[in-house]
Amino acid sequence: MGKVLMKGNEAVAEAGIRCGCRHYFGYPITPQNEISAYMAKNMPKVGGLCLQAESEIAAINMVLGAAASGVRAMTSSSSPGISLKSEGLSYIAGCDLPCLVVNVQRGGPGLGGIQAAQSDYYQATKAMGHGDLRLLVYSPSTIQEIVTLTSKSFDTSEKYRVPAMILTDGVIGQMMEAVDFDEMVISTPADKSWASCGHGDQRKKNIINSLYIEPEKLEAVVVARFKRYAEIEKNEVMFEEYMTDDAELIIVSYGITARICKSAVNLARKQNVKVGLFRPISLWPYPSDALLNLAKKDITKHFLVSELNMGQMVDDVKVSTHCLKPVSFYGRTGGMLPAPEEILAEIKKILGGKA
C-alpha cells in the first residue's frame, strides 16, 4: 500500500479493520466523527459491521455483547461521550473482556469545547468507571503511532483480558499525516474459549458476569485481576526518551503535547540549553521506573510536566520520581495549545541564570 495521507481518525479506523475488528459501534460526537464515517464506508466492504447506536451508553454495551461473544470489537467517542461509556467500561473490566475504546479528547468539563485537550487523563488512568479497575491506556503522538498502538491495544487487551483505550485528542484525530500500514504488526486473536456465543452442546455453559454477591468471592476475583495488572505493569510499559542523556531539565509530556515539547527541546538545544523529553506512551501502565532512573541521575535537576490540562499528570511524575527533583508544570487547557516558544520560555524561567 505504501504511504498514504490520512487523518488520525481515519487511520485508527483503518488500523482497527486491519486488526480484524469487524464490529464497530459508535455514536456521533465531535471531533471523532471521521472514525464512524470511515467505518460506515469501509466495514461493509470486508463483511464487517458499523452500527450507529442510540447513545454512547448503548454503543459501549453493544461492544460488551460483541466482546463477550468473542469477537474483536471497538467504539470511539470524545470526552463527554466517554463519560457516558464509563459505566459500560466498568462492567467490561469486571467481566474481564477485551475491547478497544478510542477517546479523541476535547475540552471539558461539561460540554466544554470541541478543540483538542488532554483533560481526561485522570478519568482514563485513574477512574474509568466505578470499582477497582484499570484500563490499558495508550497515547499516540503521531498518526503512524496511532496505527501501531491500535494493533498493540487489541493484542494486549486480549492477552490480559483488560479493556484498552487509545487516548488521543482533537489535533491528532483531525490532522493529516503520511502513514504506512505495512509497518503494522497484525497478530492472531487470542483464544476465546471463555466467550458466550452458544455452547453448541460441546461444552459446559459460559457465563460472562461481574456480579459476585459473596464479598469473599468478589475480593478474590478482584485480587486475581490485580495480579494480571501487576503483570501488565511489569511487561507492557511503553515510553520514549529524547535527548535525556545529558539533560538538566526533562520535560514529561505525552500525545500531541509531546510533539510540541520535542520542538521546544530542539529550540533549546540550538541555544545549548540541556533539555530532554520523556514521553510516556502507555499512560497505564505508567513508566514509573524509567522516570525514577532519570530522577536519580545527578545531571537531572528538574522535571517539567506539560499537557493540555491543568496538571493532571503532575502527581504521577512526583510519585514516580519519589520527589527527588522538583516537578514544575506548564500547560494550556480548554482547547488551547502551547507554542514551542512558550515551553522554551518556561524552561528558561525554571533553569534561571543557567540558561
Where in 34-63 is the site for other proteins (CB under 8 A)? 49, 51, 53-55, 57-59, 61-63
By beta-carbon proximity to other proteins, the closer residue of 61 and 144 is: 61
Binding mask 65-104 for other proteins (x = CB under 8 A): xxxxxxx-x-------------xx--x---x---------
Q: Which residues pair with 52 in a beta bridge?
A: 26
Closest Cα partner for 262 from 248, 244, 283, 245? 244
Contacts of 233 (CB under 8 A, 6+ apart): 285
Binding mask 249-288 for other proteins (x = CB under 8 A): ----------------------------------------
Q: In what order do the strands lie in the sheet with 327-329?
A: 239-242, 275-280, 249-252, 302-305, 327-329
Q: How far apart are CA 35 and CA 23, in angstroms?
A: 13
Backbone angles phi, psi at 207, to 5 degrees: -125, 125
How near is the Cβ of 133 to other proteins at its closest, in Å? 14
By beta-carbon proximity to other proteins, the closer residue of 182 and 191 is: 191
Where in 12-31 is the site for other proteins (CB under 8 A)? 22-23, 25
By beta-carbon proximity to other proteins, the closer residue of 57 and 324 is: 57
Residue 58 cell numbers, joined? 448503548
Tell me the torsion sign for CA atoms 303, 284, 152, 173: negative
Backbone angles phi, psi at 175, to 5 degrees: -80, 160
By beta-carbon proximity to other proteins, the closer residue of 74 and 275 is: 74
By beta-carbon proximity to other proteins, the closer residue of 12 and 51 is: 51
Residue 172 cell numbers, joined? 491528532
How near is the Cβ of 67 to other proteins at its closest, in Å? 7
| Using rule CB under 8 A, residue 154 touches other proteins | no
By beta-carbon proximity to other proteins, the closer residue of 57 and 319 is: 57
Please calculate the CA angle 296-297-301 and round it to the nearest 5 degrees. 95
Where in 181-240 is the site for other proteins (CB under 8 A)? 196-202, 205-211
Cell 460472562 found at: 208
Number of amino acids touching other proteins (CB under 8 A): 41
By beta-carbon proximity to other proteins, the closer residue of 201 and 298 is: 201
Q: How far apart are CA 300 and CA 122, in angstroms?
A: 27
How near is the Cβ of 24 to other proteins at its closest, in Å? 10
Rg (CA), the chain: 21
Provide the binding-site residues for other proteins, judged by CB under 8 A: 22-23, 25, 49, 51, 53-55, 57-59, 61-71, 73, 87-88, 91, 95, 196-202, 205-211
